[in-house]
Amino acid sequence: MYCVRKVDKDLYWVGGSDHRLALFENIHPIPRGVSYNSYILLDEKTVLFDTVDWSVCRQFLENVKAVLHGRTLDYMVINHVEPDHAACIEEVILRYPNVKIICTKKAAVFIRQFGFSVDGEVIEVKEGDTKSFGKHNVVFVTAPMVHWPEVMVTYDTTNGVLFSADAFGTFGALDGKLFNDEVDFERDWIDDARRYYTNIVGKYGPNVQALLKKAGKLDIKKICPLHGPVWRNNLGYFLEKYDKWSRYEPEEKGVMIVYGSMYGNTESAATRLATGLVEKGMKNVVMYDVSQTHVSYLISETFKYSHLVLACVTYNMKIYPPMLDYLMDMKALNLQKRTFALMENGSWAPQSGKLMGEFLDGMKEMTVLDKKISLSSSMKKYDISSMEELSDSIIQSMK
């Protein structure tokens, strides 16, 4: 059965949500599911903006047919070729063989590279090109590396709708609620939105900044992303988040303690540090077990907080492997501008703190506090003063 939503005059959402996929990109857990958004404009010409993932293809095709209501499909704008959006291109062409594809030159290459059979007309567009579909005129704005090189966004100058591709997307199935004002975004969605942004697009902050600069010149009334809610009011809230995330600025002054503990001793010391921080007035403290928390959540929280404490054991004379994985992800995603405090543990040759410090030295604009804690198997009374000095040093660095 078709299931569509009206987005604007002449514009309909024809996507679908998947609750069954466990891992987005086969990496990131999505316990709340994910939506794949697609939109149809009914003008003198009919226009589809992107397709969907294979998992919701059948639903999508029913939706397309229902909205077209006997009309044919004239154009298919492909803003992004990643298969979670482009998987159904061939299925659309099979049903509407005269459809013309509009995309960037790079996207045309990718479409063929993925093996999609496209025999009809492909109109390649570049930055600033325009197209009229009748009443609606659109302009194509390239957005390379947000999140792939072929990406563009499409702005409808007639109604102010921005088809933003992956930008402004989020994990989470829609469950009938399409618009941002139909959900409590700050309560229920922001954590998944941050986790989506930081893990999927986080590496490309400068490219997102470039897109935000271009978007700033447009009179945007609605944002139609490829995942998650459509934004029809309070756009500034989400634009501000994107601006902050893409500049790698923390959202909150606070301390995230990430610990790797084999038998509970490092965890115990980390808890002692957290307690000291709270007693000294820094109440915005969160703790994560690096072995128990999927790294996508750790990355998301790392983008949120200003200060990090990394506490872990030495393992095979190296950094504890789950901590190293987290650090490598952090580096791959280009995270910057954070302050770190380090705590190492070891029973005969503790050196994870030294190694973590060296790792962080290789990253951009990371500050590592001089004061470090080195534990021998477990925290003792004689470590209390060092721990006090470390919490003082963290609090001092926040001023």
Instruction: Kindly list the residues in this chain that would bind ligand FEO in the complex (CB under 6 A).
Output: 80, 82, 84-85, 147-148, 166, 226-227
- Smallest separation (angstroms) from ligand FEO to the CB of 333: 15
Angle at 309 between CA 305 and CA 312, to 5 degrees: 140
For residues 32 and 337, which CB has a smaller minimum distance to ligand FEO in the complex? Answer: 32
Strand duo 100-104 + 122-125: pairing: parallel
- Sign of the torsion angle spanned by Cα atoms 243, 249, 253, 259: positive
For residues 226 and 319, which CB has a smaller minimum distance to ligand FEO in the complex? Answer: 226
Name the closest residue to ligand FEO (Cβ).
82
For residues 80 and 232, which CB has a smaller minimum distance to ligand FEO in the complex? Answer: 80
The closest alpha carbon to 345, from 298, 377, 318, belongs to 377
Q: Give, for 377, the enclosing helix (H) or strand (E).
A: none
Q: Tell me the C-alpha distance between 38 and 48, whole Å.
A: 7
Strand duo 5-8 + 11-13: pairing: antiparallel
- Smallest separation (angstroms) from ligand FEO to the CB of 79: 10
Q: Tell me the C-alpha distance between 311 and 397, whole Å.
A: 18
- Smallest separation (angstroms) from ligand FEO to the CB of 227: 6
- Smallest separation (angstroms) from ligand FEO to the CB of 143: 11
For residues 85 and 136, which CB has a smaller minimum distance to ligand FEO in the complex? Answer: 85
- Contact (Cβ atoms closer than 8 angstroms) between residue 318 and residue 288: no
- Smallest separation (angstroms) from ligand FEO to the CB of 110: 11
Q: Tell me the C-alpha distance between 89 and 202, whole Å.
A: 27
- Smallest separation (angstroms) from ligand FEO to the CB of 38: 12
For residues 143 and 390, which CB has a smaller minimum distance to ligand FEO in the complex? Answer: 143
Q: Tell me the C-alpha distance between 37 and 85, whole Å.
A: 8
- Smallest separation (angstroms) from ligand FEO to the CB of 112: 18
Return the number of other C-beta atoms located less than 10 Å from residue 1's C-beta. 6
Alpha helices in the chain, H assignment, sequence order: 57-68, 83-86, 89-95, 105-113, 190-196, 205-215, 235-246, 265-279, 295-304, 321-332, 352-361, 384-397
Strand ranges for 105-262 from DSSP E = 122-125, 130-132, 137-142, 152-156, 161-163, 222-224, 252-260
Return the number of other C-beta atoms located less than 10 Å from residue 393's C-beta. 15
- Smallest separation (angstroms) from ligand FEO to the CB of 50: 9
For residues 43 and 82, which CB has a smaller minimum distance to ligand FEO in the complex? Answer: 82
- Smallest separation (angstroms) from ligand FEO to the CB of 82: 4
For residues 208 and 323, which CB has a smaller minimum distance to ligand FEO in the complex? Answer: 208
For residues 167 and 368, which CB has a smaller minimum distance to ligand FEO in the complex? Answer: 167
For residues 147 and 307, which CB has a smaller minimum distance to ligand FEO in the complex? Answer: 147
Burial class of residue 34, CB neighbours in 10 A (0-12, 13-18, 19+): buried
